[in-house]
Amino acid sequence: MKSKRASDTAGYTSAMRAIANLAPMDQKYLHDPFSLEFLPFPWVLTKPLFSTKLLAPLIYNIGMKTPDKMVGFPGMTSLACLRHRYIDDQILLAYKEGIRRFILLGAGYDTRSLRLSLPEATMLEVDHPDTQTRKRKILREKNLQPSCKLEFAAVDFSKPWSEELFSHPYIKESANEPTMVIWEGVSCYLHEADVLSTFETVRHLLQSGGVFIFDAFSAELTKSETRIDILRKMREFVDRKGEPFYWAEDIDPLKEKLASYDFKQVDAITIFDIATNLSNKENLNISQDEILKYLAMFHCRC
């Protein structure tokens, strides 16, 4: 992340969710109206257009094409929004099964505390202080009220952070509760040592059982000599934006690594397969771009 400013990529994922809201019914799988409140500059200038019903198809069309144009290939909005929808479903399922403690690592402008009905839950949002400061300011200024109890912890994952987290009053008082930890869209921006120490920290957070969900790109993403054009383009894009990728790993070796941290049951599914399943289940017409094959969701039980 660039120093002393909120994460740009958190702003982009928020903007992509705002675009997904405008999808026609046969392509709609995510509804995040609060995402509009967190649009970064210059997207925020377009906010009035998002609420003009007549313009929705046009804005959706332009909105879907803009991120693709910026990176140079199709599928960026679907990649971020299908990942988000998958995690929404997992959170609601966990809540139904009795989990009440949710920890979001690198929460960015996540609005689940506002839009999902989780009345008995507590959500702890952990993020870089620069991003979290902007988020909290917007929540305050717009008087946005969560549906659950919302807690915050500001940490930098590139410095030792687990002790800071474990000394947070909410973490201390709720240590015996089964927990779901979500780590969405963050691992690729960290160095391997920081990823591994996150696995260790999460394993401690789940000492009373629960689920860890995160995403990881295929190892090919960080290979400098990769012949996969779209991965090279995506890497060049984040480099230009000052938030480079450092870590990626393939499904099988990563499953083995997670087992060594004592995560008991580890399942993985690519975003491409999530798109196929969702299209079939909800009779949707979701475009299946190649990039969706290179990001996988990991679901680890303790």
Q: 294 near 83, Cβ under 8 Å? A: no
Binding mask 45-84 for ligand SAM (x = CB under 6 A): ----------------------------------------
Tokens of residue 190, six digits: 């960290």
Binding of residue 152 to ligand SAM (CB under 6 A): no
Binding mask 260-299 for ligand SAM (x = CB under 6 A): ----------------------------------------
Per rule CB under 6 A, count of chain residues that contact ligand SAM: 19
Question: Which burial class, exposed, middle or buried, applies to 283 when counting CB atoms under 10 A from its CB (0-12, 13-18, 19+)?
Answer: exposed
User: Based on CB atoms, which residue is closest to ligand SAM, 131 or 179?
Assistant: 131
Report which of 193, 207, 200, 180 is spatially closest to residue 260, judged by C-alpha positions.
200
Report the distance separating Cα 162 and Cα 113, nearest Å. Answer: 23
Chain residue at closest Cβ approach to ligand SAM:
108
Report the distance separating Cα 20 and Cα 28, nearest Å. Answer: 7
Binding of residue 148 to ligand SAM (CB under 6 A): no
Q: What is the DSSP string of 240-272?
A: HTT--------HHHHHHHHHHTT--EEEEEEHH
Binding of residue 157 to ligand SAM (CB under 6 A): yes
Phi/psi for 126 (5° steps) reads: -110, 125
Of these, 7, 77, 198, 201, which contacts ligand SAM (CB under 6 A)?
A: 7
Report which of 108, 104, 135, 105 is spatially closest to residue 122, judged by C-alpha positions.
104
User: Based on CB atoms, which residue is closest to ligand SAM, 55 or 196?
Assistant: 196
Binding of residue 184 to ligand SAM (CB under 6 A): yes
The region of 38-46, 145-153, 154-162, 260-268 touching ligand SAM under the rule CB under 6 A is 154-162
Of these, 37, 110, 249, 289, which contacts ligand SAM (CB under 6 A)?
A: 110
Report the distance separating Cα 297 and Cα 257, nearest Å. Answer: 15
Report the distance separating Cα 109 and Cα 12, nearest Å. Answer: 10
Binding of residue 146 to ligand SAM (CB under 6 A): no
Of these, 71, 76, 94, 107, which contacts ligand SAM (CB under 6 A)?
A: 107
**Torsion sign (Cα): 117, 119, 265, 292:** positive
Of these, 37, 125, 127, 289, which contacts ligand SAM (CB under 6 A)?
A: 127
Residues near ligand SAM, by CB under 6 A:
1, 7, 9-10, 13, 106-108, 110, 127-128, 131, 156-158, 184-186, 189
